[in-house]
Amino acid sequence: MKIKNIEFENGLFLAPMAGVADRAFRHMCKKYGAEGVVTEMISSKALVFGDKKTEILAKIDSYERPCALQLFGSDPLTMAKAAEIAMKFSPDIIDINMGCPVHKIVSSGDGSALMKNPALAYEVICSVVNSVGDKVPVTVKIRSGYDVSHINAPEIAMLAEKAGVSAIFVHGRTRDQMYAPPCDLETIKKVKMAVSVPVIGNGDIFTCEDAERMFSETGCDGIMIGRGALGNPYFFFQLKHFLKTGEKLPSQNLKDKMIDIEEHMRILCSEKGEKTASAECRKHLSWYVKGVRGSASLRDCINRTDNIENTLNIIRKAFDNCNTLS
Ligand SMILES: Cc1cc2nc3c(=O)[nH]c(=O)nc-3n(C[C@H](O)[C@H](O)[C@H](O)COP(=O)(O)O)c2cc1C
């Protein structure tokens, strides 16, 4: 599939995840075959105000390209200005967030709140498309609707296409559902039938069979994976292999997992410094050890230590024990 002139072999995308899918995690997913990645959501207002922390979020490494820079906001002029400023980070795509369900964002009219106001959503998209011109494609990431009585993703998708977007990411849940099941594949299918730009299906892809179902039941052009990759960037390798051959690869062995954990932590430390990394590493390490024998007590250790090297030694020992036992 293609988003404008950018080719994606199998249409495999890593979902934007604030506080999680930073450059270090995106690097790991890229290594295993994520074909497109997205920055954490970036406040259009903060970018326009020149906030330094926001600028750090917007940085894109050459290794992770093609990478979309995701903006949130609901003021057309601020969004246009932010998109213009975003160009200095050379994003490959500008994505507009219309899915964030978090109260703080929605109460300002941003994120999924825009789906309640199609006219404003259209204005925001037009404004960003006009601002970036031919420089990069613009995409939009939407939910199935705001709530169960307002499932309007097909309508928003048609407006987005009219406004000039080059692809649409659809998370098959309403804002009210937050992340609770089920994911509504039927609405993703309706979006796909409503527009001619590529549609990327998102929601609850945790196995190769889930990916196959997303493709076959919705007719989508690509898939986007969020939580399924947490502590398991190798999932992209399994997916890629499955989509090419129909064959399911076994889970990653613990020796290779340990190598990945060390690489991920090395990048996290070099990106954010030891102190910040020591706090931020905990969630990732807890996800990495999920399902491993003795993971509950391991998670306990992870949450108590504030020294990455010590924590890695504990995980290494636990993994070695599992290898000896199995
Ligand atoms: C921790 C977390 C942070 C997220 N942050 C963003 C974000 O910044 N922008 C966005 O569009 N979606 C965000 N999402 C939503 C995901 O991109 C995705 O749509 C959702 O998790 C469903 O996909 P999944 O079932 O594969 O996880 C976030 C999700 C999670 C779990």
CATH number at residue 55: 3.20.20.70
The CA 112 to ligand 1 mean position distance, Å, reads 12
Give me 89's structure tokens: 């980070």
Query: 325 pLDDT exceeds 70?
Result: no
Average of pLDDT values for 112-117?
98
Residue type, 15: A
Strand partners for 94: 69, 138
User: What is the mean pLDDT of the segment spanning 248-267?
Assistant: 97
CA distances from 171 to 62, 197, 213 (A): 27, 16, 15
Q: How many domains does the chain have?
A: 2
Nearest atom of ligand 1 to the alpha carbon of 173: 22
Does residue 172's CB lie within 6 angstroms of at least one atom of ligand 1?
no
Residues with a known catalytic role: 100
Q: DSSP character for 146?
A: S
Task: Identify whether residues 298 and 217 lie together within a single domain.
Answer: no
Which of 193, 219, 245 lies at the terminal end of a domain, its last residue?
245
Say yes or no: 165 and 70 in one domain.
yes
- Whether residues 202 and 285 share a domain: the answer is no
| Range 274-283, long-range pairs (CB < 8 A, 24+ positions) | 274/308, 277/308, 278/306, 278/307, 278/308, 279/306, 281/308, 281/311, 283/20
Query: Do residue 175 and residue 258 come from a single domain?
Result: no
Ligand 1 atom 2: the closest Cα is on which residue? 17
Per-residue pLDDT tens for 189-247?
Answer: 999 999 999 999 999 999 999 999 999 999 999 999 999 999 999 999 999 999 999 99
Q: Which of 139, 83, 75 is nearest to 113 (CA)?
A: 75
pTM for the full predicted model: 0.97
What's the Rg (C-alpha) of the chain?
A: 20
Identify the domain containing residue 214 by its residue range.
Answer: 2-245
Query: How many CB atoms sit inside 10 A of residue 63's CB?
Result: 12
Does 228 contact ligand 1 (Cβ within 6 A)?
Answer: yes
Residues 283, 203 share a domain: no
- Distance (angstroms) between ligand 1 centre and the Cα of 40 equals 9
Tell me if residue 141 falls in helix, strand or coil. strand
**Cα torsion through 152, 154, 160, 161, rounded to 10:** -170
Residues 191 and 306 in one domain: no
Residue 127 shares a structural domain with residue 184? yes
Distance 171 CA to ligand 1 centre (A): 9
Do 232 and 258 belong to one domain?
no
CA-based nearest residue to 66, from 166, 192, 195, 208: 166
Residues 230 and 123 occupy one common structural domain: yes
283 lines ligand 1 (CB under 6 A): no
- Phi, then psi, of 169 in degrees rounded to 5: -95, 130
How distant, in Å, are the alpha carbons of 78, 96, 120, 249 from that of 124? Answer: 9, 9, 6, 43
Same domain, 9 and 111: yes
Q: Count Cβ atoms below 10 Å from residue 299 Cβ, excluding itself.
A: 17
Tokens of 22: 């930073």
Question: In the listed set 197, 223, 245, which residue is the last one of a domain according to the structure?
Answer: 245
Position 326 pLDDT exceeds 70:
no
Residues 155-163: what's their mean pLDDT? 98
Domain boundary among 245, 263, 288: 245
Q: Which tokens is 219 given?
A: 């007719």
